[in-house]
Every structure is written in C-alpha cells, then in structure tokens.
Amino acid sequence: MSSPIASWRVALLGSAVIIIGGSAEAQVPLPNEPAEISACVCLQQASSALAARKDAKSQALAALKQQLGGLDAELASERPRVDVNNAESVSRYKALLTRRDAAFGQIGPAQSDAAHAVARYNAAVDEYNRRCAGHPFDPVLVANIQAHLVCPAVQ
C-alpha cells in the first residue's frame, strides 16, 4: 500500500514529464515566410537609413549650438570695445549681432528636425522589434532574399 504523499509525488512527477515533453514539442520554429523576411530586412535597412539621418540632424544641431556659443562669446568680448562715437565700430558690432541672431533663429528649426528624426528612427526600431526581433529566420533564405530585395525608399 502506498502512502498518499508517495502517490502525490508520482502524480506530480508524471505531470512534470508531460509538461516538459509537451513544451519541447511545442517549440517549433516560426515559418520562414519570404514576405515576412523581406519586410524585416526592409525594416532593418530603413532603421539604418533613419539612424544616419538622425545622427546627421543631431550633428547639425550641435554645430549650430557651437556656432551660437562662439558668436555669444565674441559678442561678450567685443561689447566693452565698442566705441559708441565711432560709426564703424558700432556697425561691426551690429553685424556681429545680426550673425548671432541669424544663428539663434536656426536653432528652433534644427531642434525640431532633430526631434522629428529621432521620433521616426524610434518608430522604425519599435516596429522592427515588434515584428522581427527574436524570430528564428533561416539564414540561407535571408541571404537569398537580401541579394534580390528592393525596399521602398525611406522618406
């Protein structure tokens, strides 16, 4: 006669074997649909292109900020040297101030462009991660598709 605890252990062990065995059979790789692979490769290419644009916009913004900082420093340096009784001295200072104001006027649009580029890149990466990341695609099929793939142009 077996004890209730021994019977419970056997039942639990049997359940574990069924669960483990069942989960191993359920781990069938995802189908390697050419359309799905093509979409993922195109998303990856689009993400790369958008990353390059994002980086270029960020660099342009940084360059404008550096230019603005330089002009601000130059204005601060020149301000005490301006001779208000000398029209040429005042004119040079006003020209420098005009250059600084023009650079400042470019910061807002550059920030907007950079933010838009970051948002587009993040959206593309999110879509790639949602649709493609972690999918076990057949590398031979992926390479064959990549060799003949034409993706839509990234806007």
Regarding predicted confidence, which is higher, 12 or 65? 65
**16 confidence band (pLDDT: 50, 70, 90):** very low
Q: What's the pLDDT at 2? A: 47
Whether pLDDT at 12 is above 70:
no
Residue 92 Cα to chain centre, angstroms: 43
Query: How do residues 38-85 score in pLDDT, each as one tens digit?
Result: 999 999 999 999 999 999 999 999 999 999 999 999 999 999 999 999
**DSSP letter (8 states) at residue 133:** T
Mean pLDDT of all residues in 97-106: 97
From the list 134, 114, 104, 106, the residue with the least C-alpha distance to 30 is 134
Mean pLDDT confidence for 107-123: 97
**Residues 151, 45 contacting (CB under 8 angstroms):** yes
Please report the pLDDT score of residue 139 as a whole number. Answer: 86
Task: Look at the alpha carbons of 128, 131, 136, 141 in this order and tell me if their dihedral is positive or negative.
Answer: negative
